[in-house]
Amino acid sequence: GENVEQHPSTLSVQEGDSAVIKCTYSDSASNYFPWYKQELGKRPQLIIDIRSNVGEKKDQRIAVTLNKTAKHFSLHITETQPEDSAVYFCAATDAGKSTFGDGTTLTVKP
């Protein structure tokens, strides 16, 4: 089955700096890669996603890149703000089944 590894497990940045979270996956059949943000005590919510036929996608301060050959994808957050503090999960999806990484706790210090 699919195996997703996510790094780092915790990340602390100063407000205004950039944050990068990386995930690797094992199953080359995975073709959809979403990222979810979960604030403390709240439900996970999708923030950006990318399909296997695309190399990069951007939405304002958030971007995701995908390297199919190397089987890794990354989340990039620029100009971080305190409200970006949360747990971020990556996932790799194949045939209707998502396998999640273990999450990254991002703390943005004002």
Partner 1 sequence: ETGVTQTPRHLVMGMTNKKSLKCEQHLGHNAMYWYKQSAKKPLELMFVYNFKEQTENNSVPSRFSPECPNSSHLFLHLHTLQPEDSALYLCASSQVLGQGRAEEKLFFGSGTQLSVL
54 makes contact with partner 1 (CB under 8 A): no
What CA–CA distances, in Å, run from 80 to 18, 20, 46, 58, 59?
6, 11, 18, 15, 14
The residue (of 48 and 77) whose beta carbon lies closer to partner 1 is 48
What CA–CA distances, in Å, run from 25 to 14, 30, 67, 72, 84?
29, 8, 11, 6, 25
Contact by Cβ (8 Å): 63, 73: no
5 makes contact with partner 1 (CB under 8 A): no
86 makes contact with partner 1 (CB under 8 A): no
106 makes contact with partner 1 (CB under 8 A): no
43 makes contact with partner 1 (CB under 8 A): yes
Residues that bind partner 1 (CB under 8 A): 31-32, 34, 36, 42-46, 49, 51, 87, 89, 91, 93-103
